[in-house]
């Protein structure tokens, strides 16, 4: 079949995209038409000539990935998905940015067919693309090109490259020589405030060259379809480095009123401006102009290209010798299938939970072909070291150990991209206080339901001598505030094993919060199942309930023993996960928290939120202090003595 539409069809398709890029924001009274208008030819070339994609099978594993990092231009992607037959129709475009529509203000993965990642916060999509390129290369190296052999295309703008995350991600991609990654830079020299010259004088080409990227200056070819195609084909063929294509564009083109104007970024176009622009384009002055003949032609073309490619791929997979491992990488086995491989700990065990998680990873590795782990220069410290696993690199693309370097921002975004690519179960780690560097990526992981695991060690002022800059106090409360993020702070080794199982089985991201210091094994791990559980024997008539998380559960058990010697019956409850508790049926609430019995929470962090579960709180509503960890904890009131004194004061 002919792999191109006719020149007239190309022209009409681009005009249709530009018309929708104006009409949808005008109807919504909100949106960003200027970038979408300028990039309509590029988008059309990508979808009609370059990308391997199948509108009838949008999630086939070996498709090319396209990420719109400058997600404010979402109407461009929606127009392309409409034109190529991904299920979006004119009525959906008319509901642009409206409640419940499949055309929200920024692209959302899982919400709209054909959208690969959730973008909007600038630079995050670019970092996601780096993660996708890591996943693609790792799978190709391990399972063969017949299983995995595709490209990652990402479209980014000035805003993406100003954000710091892009510097980290580009540096990492260049170091790893991710040559299936192609970034198109929409070089329009415009931000919301005005010209980029107001705030930035970077030489983007030199910057990316210094990272080790292959840089292509495309120049003024934004409307030349054949030149765009030739350039993208050349970029796709490059090996040994990721490629940056710098494309000079003119925001708002071909509007006679707003071409190259910063006002075109937002929504200044009124009905008169739209009509004037449509006259220049030579199309009817009607809203959502979409002639049946051009829509049908584009859809038939895309579906014919896509079906042939995806069908051949599925046929090849049937001959794959290690098909089971390939499927297991994409569909993570339930933890029950490998629970017997995981370590168990008796009550004599005295280990930091960050050390335990490393043992758990090693034990899980044979059962989880998708598992790939790394850290931001803290691999040994955080427990994210996979024993005897090769470091991921250009010379060892099958390596399952990633050294992200001191790049927490990029690490978070890359891990989300890896998870959304599929085929890998990515784990990353750093000190808990540095979760603040990763918060946008963690938030987007939750919004995207990306199946990844964030390991945060050194979870309290028990960090000690490094002082308040490195001692997390508010971080746990802030992670708990993120909807759809599973947060688990295990009390001891057995709860750490259970936390990993919960992460493996969870359909979304999990943050596991681990201790630097050793903790005694005091639980059987079962509290993780429902988010909360009694430690030791259930008391018939407790005088008080002590509820804690992490290392403080051990303090509660010690305090309970000493209180028992004075005739005070204290029941200890471990509550490693608030969100798991809230999702449970709470059928044992009366056992956990008997009516009329005072509840005291104990946690080495801010007390924000604990009043939902406790009548009284012991915590740290201030920053920490530089001192040996045990001293810092005692001086700031996290001790057995402090718990006993609190109980006696009631």
Whole-angstrom Cα distance, residue 632 to residue 234? 59
SS3 label, residue 51? coil
Describe the strand order of the beta sheet including 214-219 as a list of residue ranges: 65-68, 152-157, 181-187, 243-248, 214-219
Whole-angstrom Cα distance, residue 165 to residue 527? 37
- Burial class of residue 612 (count of CB atoms within 10 Å of its CB; 0-12, 13-18, 19+): exposed
Catalytic residue among 408, 495, 552, 603: 408
What CA–CA distances, in Å, run from 231 to 40, 42, 76, 207? 16, 11, 21, 21
- Burial class of residue 582 (count of CB atoms within 10 Å of its CB; 0-12, 13-18, 19+): exposed
- Burial class of residue 557 (count of CB atoms within 10 Å of its CB; 0-12, 13-18, 19+): buried
Whole-angstrom Cα distance, residue 456 to residue 605? 15
Q: Which of 495-518 are b and which e, b meaning 16 or more Cβ less than 10 Å from the residue's Cβ?
A: bbbbbbbbbbebebbbbbbbbbbe
177, 242 in Cβ contact below 8 A? yes
Closest CA to 299 of 9, 7, 73, 8: 9
- Burial class of residue 260 (count of CB atoms within 10 Å of its CB; 0-12, 13-18, 19+): middle
The β-bridge partners of 375 are 403, 429
What CA–CA distances, in Å, run from 502 to 16, 373, 418, 452, 505? 48, 17, 20, 12, 5
Decide the pairing of beta strands 599-602 and 544-548: parallel
Write the DSSP string, 61-110. TTPPEEEESSGGGHHHHHHHHHHTTSS--HHHHHTTT-TT-SS-SS--TT
Handedness of CA 90, 91, 94, 95 (dihedral sign): negative
Closest CA to 358 of 343, 346, 337: 343
Known catalytic residue at 641? no
Write the DSSP string, 402-427. EE--S-HHHHHHHHHHHHHH-S-EEE
Extract the tokens encoding 312: 């051949």
220, 41 in Cβ contact below 8 A? no
Decide the pairing of beta strands 181-187 and 243-248: parallel
| Helix spans in 144-290 (H) | 158-162, 164-176, 204-211, 225-237, 271-281
SS3 label, residue 591? helix
Whole-angstrom Cα distance, residue 254 to residue 264? 11
SS3 label, residue 503? helix
The set of catalytic residues is: 408
């Amino acid at each position: 079949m002919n792999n191109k539409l006719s020149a007239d069809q190309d022209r009409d398709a681009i005009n249709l995209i530009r018309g929708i890029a104006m009409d949808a924001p005008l109807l919504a009274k909100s949106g960003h038409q200027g970038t979408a208008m300028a990039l309509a030819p590029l988008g059309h070339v990508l979808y009609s000539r370059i990308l391997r994609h199948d509108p009838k099978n949008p999630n086939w594993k070996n498709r090319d990935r396209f990420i719109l990092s400058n997600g404010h231009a979402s109407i461009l992607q929606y127009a392309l998905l409409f034109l190529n037959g991904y299920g979006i129709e004119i009525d959906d475009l008319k509901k642009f940015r409206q409640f419940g529509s499949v055309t929200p203000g920024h692209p959302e993965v899982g919400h709209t067919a054909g959208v690969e990642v959730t973008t909007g916060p600038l630079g995050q999509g670019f970092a996601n693309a780096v993660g996708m390129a890591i996943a693609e290369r790792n799978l190709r190296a391990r399972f063969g090109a017949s299983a995995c052999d595709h490209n990652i295309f990402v479209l980014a703008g000035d805003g993406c490259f100003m954000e710091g995350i892009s510097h980290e991600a580009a540096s990492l991609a260049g170091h790893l020589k991710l040559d299936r990654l192609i970034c198109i830079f929409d070089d329009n020299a415009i931000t919301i405030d005005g010209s980029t010259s107001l705030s930035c004088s970077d030489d983007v080409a030199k910057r990316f060259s210094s990272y080790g990227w292959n840089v292509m200056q495309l120049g003024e070819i934004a409307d030349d379809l054949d030149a765009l195609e030739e350039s993208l084909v050349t970029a796709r063929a490059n090996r040994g480095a990721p490629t940056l294509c710098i494309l000079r564009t003119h925001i708002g083109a071909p509007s006679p009123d707003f071409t190259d104007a910063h006002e075109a970024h937002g929504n200044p176009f009124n009905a008169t401006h739209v009509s004037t622009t449509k006259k220049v384009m030579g199309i009817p002055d009607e809203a959502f102009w979409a002639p049946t003949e051009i829509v049908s032609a584009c859809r038939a073309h895309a579906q014919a290209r896509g079906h042939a490619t995806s069908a051949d791929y599925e046929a090849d997979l049937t001959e794959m010798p290690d098909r089971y491992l390939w499927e297991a990488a994409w569909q993570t086995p339930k933890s029950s299938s490998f629970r017997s491989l995981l370590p168990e700990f008796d009550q004599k065990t005295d280990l930091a939970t960050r050390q335990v998680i490393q043992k758990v990873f090693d034990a899980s590795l044979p059962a989880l072909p998708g598992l790939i782990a790394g850290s931001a220069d803290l691999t040994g410290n955080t427990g994210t070291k996979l024993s005897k696993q090769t470091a991921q690199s250009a010379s060892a693309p099958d390596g399952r150990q990633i050294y992200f370097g001191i790049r927490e921002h990029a690490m978070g975004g890359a891990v989300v991209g890896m998870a959304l690519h599929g085929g890998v179960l990515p784990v990353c780690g750093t000190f808990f206080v540095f979760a603040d560097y990763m918060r946008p990526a963690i938030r987007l992981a939750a919004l995207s339901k990306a199946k990844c695991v964030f390991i945060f060690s050194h979870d309290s002022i028990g960090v000690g001598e490094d002082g308040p800059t490195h001692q997390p106090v508010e971080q746990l409360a802030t992670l708990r505030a993120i909807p759809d993020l599973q947060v688990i702070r295990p009390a001891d080794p057995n709860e750490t094993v259970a936390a990993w199982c919960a992460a493996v089985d969870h359909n979304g991201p999990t943050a596991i919060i681990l201790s630097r210091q050793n903790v005694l094994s005091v639980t059987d791990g079962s509290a993780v199942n429902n988010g909360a559980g009694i430690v030791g024997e259930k008391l018939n008539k407790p005088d008080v309930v002590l509820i804690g998380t992490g290392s403080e559960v051990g303090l509660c058990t010690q305090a309970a023993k000493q209180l028992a010697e004075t005739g005070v019956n204290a029941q200890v409850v471990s509550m490693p996960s608030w969100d798991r508790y809230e999702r449970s049926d709470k059928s044992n609430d009366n056992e956990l928290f008997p009516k009329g019995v005072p509840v005291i929470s104990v946690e080495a962090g801010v007390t924000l939120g604990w009043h939902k579960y406790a009548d009284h709180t012991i915590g740290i509503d201030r920053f920490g202090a530089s001192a040996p960890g045990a001293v810092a904890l005692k001086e700031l009131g996290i001790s057995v003595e402090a718990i006993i004194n609190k109980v006696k004061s009631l």
